[in-house]
A and B are shown apart, each in its own frame.
Chain A
Amino acid sequence: MCTLLGSLSIFVIALGPGLFNNSPVIYKSWQFHAFHLLCHQDADRSFLIDGTQMAVCARCIGIYSSFFTGVILMPVLILIKKVKSRFYFRLLVGTIILNFVDVLSNQFEFWTNTNWSRFFLGALFGLSAAFLLANEFFKKLNN
């Protein structure tokens, strides 16, 4: 329950002030300050809600939203298939490498990524992190 609430609160804060329609200026919002040590918060690399920039970039919102989704999906995943931690650990490492390669390749102009490609790569990382934890929360179902 703490994991669910924690991931939900992080996700909601990361969506920024546009969600509540109470601050059109992102730099004045507490949500923006909350993530200033965690994300570059570049306006060109962020999605908008109601015309207001989110508090984090597209990649980060992908991570937070998919981690929260993954936490919700944990019981379903366990019922469908027994979770093998080793597999999900490798998946997690793989998605970290994938994101790192994407950032560097874009930086050195091997390719140009978009907000949606950043979002999906971030989402892969968030989902794999949530799935890695799944069998810890549902040990009885998994055994």
Chain B
Amino acid sequence: MENEEMKPSYWPSVLYGAIIIGVIMVLMSIGSQYMTIGSEPTGAQFTLPQLIGTLVCFIAAIGGVLAARHYAKTHDITFPIGTGALIGFLTGVVGVAISAVVSLIWTKVVDPGLNQAVYDWQVANLEAQNLPEAQMEMSLSFIPDPTSMSAFFIATGISLVVIGILNALTGMIGAKIFASEEG
């Protein structure tokens, strides 16, 4: 039963969900980059990392469900879906932050040449498509500069909002399934 006076902290559950989706997002991101540079640039549009992306598509949105379930089961309580939404939103935001920090450490400290290697692979892949020179130059201009920090922070900021909202929605679903009084 929900106890308004002694409501346990939801932060351990938020961290639980956030660490899981943060790790998954990092593995998806860094793992797909290594698979990219390890493969032959054949000019294919649909590459191996994208194939994996198809299978793990949407996995970053399950943090809300995981955290809501953890909160309900750990403390054996029920709570309204609004609380599930809050837990989900925080899980998404913290998960993206964890993913961004680990990615940054990996690409700046552990393997500083990774971004450049991915950039070189993308250029080689474009060359393998035998595009006309004008189209080739245009395509090259769309590949982000591997040394740009502003692009990284903008992408992270956008992900914080979108993945936060999505996890708020899945947090409500998690609360409905695992913490509803209806049963």
Contact = CB atoms under 8 A, between A and B. Distances in A.
Interface of A: 2-3, 6-7, 9-10, 13, 25, 27-28, 30, 33-44, 57, 59-60, 63, 67, 85, 89, 92, 103, 107, 129, 132-133, 135-136
Interface string B127-157: 0000000000000001000000000001100
14 contacts: A6-B165, A25-B142, A27-B142, A28-B142, A36-B155, A37-B25, A37-B159, A38-B57, A38-B163, A38-B166, A89-B177, A129-B173, A136-B80, A136-B176
B158 interface: yes
Interface of B: 25, 28-29, 45-46, 50-51, 53-55, 57-58, 60-61, 80-81, 85, 96, 99, 142, 154-155, 158-159, 161-163, 165-166, 168-169, 172-173, 176-177, 180, 182
A33 B46 contact: no
B169 A35 contact: no
Contacts of A38: 57-58, 60-61, 162-163, 166
- Which secondary structure characterizes the binding site on chain A? helix
Contacts of A107: 51, 54-55
Contacts of B96: 37
Nearest to A64: B166
B176 A7 contact: no
A7 B169 contact: yes
Nearest to B49: A40
A40 B53 CA distance: 5
Nearest to A28: B142
Contacts of B155: 33, 36
Contacts of A42: 45-46, 50, 54
Nearest to B59: A38
B50 A133 contact: no
A103 B57 CA distance: 10
Given A10-B166, A39-B57, A34 B158 contact: yes
Nearest to B172: A133
Given A25-B142, A38-B60, A133 B162 contact: no
Contact of B158 (A30, A63, A136): A30
A111 to B, nearest CB: 15
Contacts of A36: 155, 159
Contacts of A60: 57-58
B176 A85 contact: yes
A89 B173 CA distance: 10
Given A38-B163, A41-B50, 7 more contacts: A2-B85, A13-B162, A33-B155, A37-B25, A40-B51, A40-B57, A136-B172
